[in-house]
Amino acid sequence: MKLIMLGAPGAGKGTQAKRVAEEYKIPHISTGDIFRANIKGGTELGMKAKTYMDAGQLVPDELVCDLVADRIQQDDCANGFVLDGFPRTIPQAEALDVALTKIGQKMDFAIDIDVPDENIITRMGGRRACLSCGATYHVVYNAPKVENVCDACGNALVIREDDKPETVKKRLDVYHEQTQPLIDYYTKAGILVSVDGTKNMDEVFADIKAVLGK
């Protein structure tokens, strides 16, 4: 099973991708998590990516395409994978197609988690992230057991630098301009499925499972 999670920042891609990965026993590949891990580790890639991320802009395609092409060829991806946050531009989608064609494969589904901009602003305001293990919480919709402490690993939760309201607005503009065209791209490819992302997390997951089947 090879799938892509599409959707605006805060639509619930990460939340659902983690559940899908667990249910279908496939790796969850989040380019945002990869960049944040690199920033934390002080790598050259992390330093390059940080400036763009903090400004709410996309990291240039050339910094992300090869990275994903390499990742999906690793052994743990043999039975499939779920991409979260990639592709985000048409050139990235084309690069993914090229990489897959080379290994005789193709994507099965692109799942668009549809959430209007108004809801996004509230969601992002309440998001709390664990930069150690990548878990994500929401102060109202998915609160950790102990305030500001990660249930999974016990480390402190933070508000992501790019989740401040001004940056969220910028990211939504970038989404509409550069990422939304992918809905058309994958509709034409015949693999787009849209789910209503305003439902609660369990309902959205049930809708996704209904699409993917067993």
7 lies in the site for ligand ADP, by CB under 6 A: yes
Print burial letters for 169-204: b (CB count within 10 Å at least 16), e (below 16).
ebbbebbeebbeebbebbeeeebbbbbebeeeeeeb
Min dist CB 85 to ligand ADP, Å, is 3
Catalytic residue check, 102: no
Assigned token pair, 123: 């969601």
Catalytic residue check, 36: no
**Containing H/E element for 194?**
strand 192-196
- Report the sign of the C-alpha dihedral through residues 88, 183, 138, 136, in that order: negative
Site residues (CB under 6 A) for ligand ADP, limited to 148-167: 162
Binder of residue 204, out of ligand ADP, Zn ion, none (CB less than 5 to 8 A by kind)? ligand ADP
| Residues labelled catalytic | 13, 88, 127, 160, 171
Using CB under 6 A, list all residues that contact ligand ADP: 7, 9-15, 31-32, 35, 52-53, 57-59, 64, 85-86, 88, 92, 123, 126-127, 136-138, 141-142, 162, 171, 200-201, 204
